[in-house]
Chains A and B, each alone.
Chain A
Amino acid sequence: MDMALLLQLTLNGLIVGMLYGVVAMSFVLIYKASQVVNFAQGEFLLVGAWVCWWFLTEWQLPFYAGFLFTLVFMMLFGLVLQVVVLRPLIGEPVISVIMATIGLGIFFQALMKWIFGVFAKPFPPIFAMEQVRVLGLEVQTVYLASLGVSLLIMAGFGWFFKASKHGLAMRATAFDQQVAQSLGVSVPKVFAMSWAISAVVSAVAGVVVGVVNGVSSALSFYGIKVFPAVILGGLDSILGAVLGGVIVGLLENWAHYVDSQWLNWGNMFQIAPFYGLVLILLIKPYGLFGTKNIERV
């Protein structure tokens, strides 16, 4: 038993899990608002991180300006995707919508590889200190900042849905589209807005991961890790998505620990959440906290 390693991995799991939670949250946002399962969520991270990298290294912008431009770009990106690709597919069967987002995913992944190459590229240093000590553990400053950013985004989501007018319109649309429409909510606008917000929030997560590990197409795997998280937490619960993300982050790090200490199978880190996912779906076909659809003929 290596207690220090276990603690370190647990902390890593918590921090990475928070990021998974943020991505899962933006995934659930799209699903709740427009009933689209977005298989291209990981590519939002990828595009956001590469665009930010481009602003910082090619244009030599200071971090805050480049970051701000990235957010604006991603907002437009999400809007355009929704209007151009997803809007014509409203009312099509689930398989078509899923396939469209999968198509978007491979398109943008290949496009990013084409433009920026296949090798991971590091961000210019942003913080003066690379690492700080917390409770006797070495922690990357960026990780701490990412924890702060994640919490900030979650608080922002909470406020947005509880208090703001647009947030209420979104909740109404998620509850019942026809009722929302009859109360004067513009449903197409809500769809577009949900994609824009989701793209922006994912891009923030993408930039954070990019600053830590460098930007590469490995980022898009975060989008796939979302699925175990939302199956754990329920597809239509934002709080559940955050919890699911944290659990997945902890689970994969603990699986890695068990593997490195006793099993030595390798690759458990990547694959453990999927075993968890399959197990849960075997027992509960609608996920752990998902609402079972009651269907009538």
Chain B
Amino acid sequence: MTALTPCGDWRASYAADTTIFPTRNSRIALLLGIAILCCAPLVFGRYELSLLINIGFLGIAALGLNILVGFTGQISIGHAAFFGLGAFVSAYLHERYHVPVLLCIPIAGVVTALIGLVFGAPAARLKGLYLAIATLAAQFILEDFFARAQWFTGGVSGRMTESPVLFGFALDRDETYFYLTLVWVIIMFVGAANLMRSRDGRALVAVRDHYLSAEMMGINLAYYRTLSFGIASLYAGIGGALYAHYLLFVSVEAFNILFSIQFLGMVIIGGLGSVMGSLMGAAFMVMLPEVTQWGADLLAGSSIDRALKLGASISFLREMVVGAAIILFLIFEPDGLARRWRLIKAYWKLYPYSH
């Protein structure tokens, strides 16, 4: 409600038109929101904090995928593989070359981005379902590589890693790691919001909306498609590195096709082409299994539970709920949670007199 201007749009300059937070209230709300989040470790327990941290690094990776899918219109079914690449690069750099973990995270992002560019260059020629199929193949090939490359990933036994250390102070508890994740979330989300109002960001959107017209206006299609693949990989790499140093163990089996689909689910549920939507989608996807678990616990011991074996098959139930959520959102709310949020804000704008 704070981002809405009180009476219509009145913008006198181009800078005023592209500003991210148009009113003073929205800027105050932002700072207030960050301040409240900073207090979260004082209020929440370990469980809630670990959910928030999960939302943080998954949200960063989902934002990367949203830049690729939602802003550029390129489909990728292999995002989890790049997420895993970031995790392994960071863990490998730390163990092999003893690079400090805090430095490992951005380096892992850059390395993943470079590898993403290598994959993205040939993918720039493809679009639509051919790209979907090619990235699906890339997912399987990278998964196979993870299982095979013993020196890099530790093979089937996975790779252990360590917590980051800041000035001799280990960020090894949820309360401290939360701040690290929060800092990265703010950097990456502000970065993406700024990218979208730059020349390059507008070019990406033009490629999505009508690639032939974009090309005629002088936008280099191959360059921007490859660039967007690189940016998506950068975000995936940083998200993956944060994941690795939070869980302290990276397993090769984690980055499977289902994880990739979950990323796509986050982007769709959050809203294609919405920066904040990515975070909402990630939050939804993190909360969904928890809510399923909660529902199953509620029914535990009842006759429904006994008839359906809910407790024993909770992992299947979670997968089903993910699939069902994706389908239901596509049918009933194709623009995702971001649109819901806008509608809620618009409702409160005129609150007592909305009719």
Per CB-CB distance, the 9 closest pairs between chain A and chain B, nearest first, are A107-B323, A110-B319, A103-B326, A274-B137, A106-B323, A114-B316, A103-B327, A110-B320, A110-B316
Cα A95 to Cα B265 with chains together (Å): 11
State whether A94 and B75 are in contact (beta carbons under 8 Å apart), knowing that A106-B322, A227-B136 are contacts in the complex.
Answer: yes
Check A59 for interface membership: any CB of B closer than 8 A.
Answer: no
Cα A224 to Cα B133 with chains together (Å): 9
Q: Which residues of B contact A114 (CB under 8 A)?
A: 309, 313, 316-317, 320
Check A33 for interface membership: any CB of B closer than 8 A.
Answer: no
Size class of A's contact patch? 35 or more
Check A102 for interface membership: any CB of B closer than 8 A.
Answer: yes
Q: Which residues of A contact B216 (CB under 8 A)?
A: 297
Binds A, one of B140-148, B158-166, B169-177: B140-148
Check B254 for interface membership: any CB of A closer than 8 A.
Answer: no
How many residues on the B side are at the interface (Cβ–Cβ under 8 A)? 47
Cα A158 to Cα B322 with chains together (Å): 39
Tell me, rounded to whole Å, the shortest Cβ–Cβ distance linking A234 to chain B.
12
Tell me, rounded to whole Å, the shortest Cβ–Cβ distance linking B101 to chain A.
32
Tell me, rounded to whole Å, the shortest Cβ–Cβ distance linking B76 to chain A.
10
Partner of A109, one of B122, B213, B319: B319
Cα A270 to Cα B73 with chains together (Å): 30
Cα A37 to Cα B129 with chains together (Å): 7
Check A137 for interface membership: any CB of B closer than 8 A.
Answer: no
Cα A65 to Cα B319 with chains together (Å): 33
Cα A274 to Cα B141 with chains together (Å): 7
Interface of A is mostly: helix
Q: Which residue of A lies closest to B320 (CB)?
A: A110
Contacts from A to B (Cβ < 8 Å): 37, 85, 88-89, 92, 94-96, 98-100, 102-111, 113-114, 224, 227-228, 231, 235, 265-267, 270-271, 274-275, 277-278, 281-282, 285-287, 295, 297
| Interface contact B125-A110, CB-CB below 8 Å | no
Q: Which residues of A contact B258 (CB under 8 A)?
A: 106
Tell me, rounded to whole Å, the shortest Cβ–Cβ distance linking A265 to chain B.
7
Partner of B137, one of A104, A106, A227: A227
**Please, could you name 19 A-B residue pairs with CB atoms under 8 Å apart, sorted by A?**
A94-B75, A94-B129, A99-B264, A99-B265, A102-B77, A103-B322, A103-B324, A103-B326, A105-B323, A106-B319, A107-B324, A110-B323, A227-B137, A270-B140, A271-B140, A271-B141, A277-B134, A278-B134, A286-B130
Check B36 for interface membership: any CB of A closer than 8 A.
Answer: no
Cα A88 to Cα B334 with chains together (Å): 11
Q: Which residues of B contact A94 (CB under 8 A)?
A: 75, 128-129, 132
Q: Which residue of B lies closest to A285 (CB)?
A: B125
| Interface contact B129-A98, CB-CB below 8 Å | yes
| Interface contact A282-B133, CB-CB below 8 Å | no
Cα A122 to Cα B151 with chains together (Å): 39
Check B113 for interface membership: any CB of A closer than 8 A.
Answer: no
Cα A140 to Cα B318 with chains together (Å): 39
Cα A281 to Cα B129 with chains together (Å): 12
| Interface contact B330-A103, CB-CB below 8 Å | yes
Q: Which residues of A contact B138 (CB under 8 A)?
A: 278
Q: Which residues of A contact B213 (CB under 8 A)?
A: 297
State whether A285 and B319 are in contact (beta carbons under 8 Å apart), knowing that A85-B331, A227-B137, A278-B137 are contacts in the complex.
Answer: no
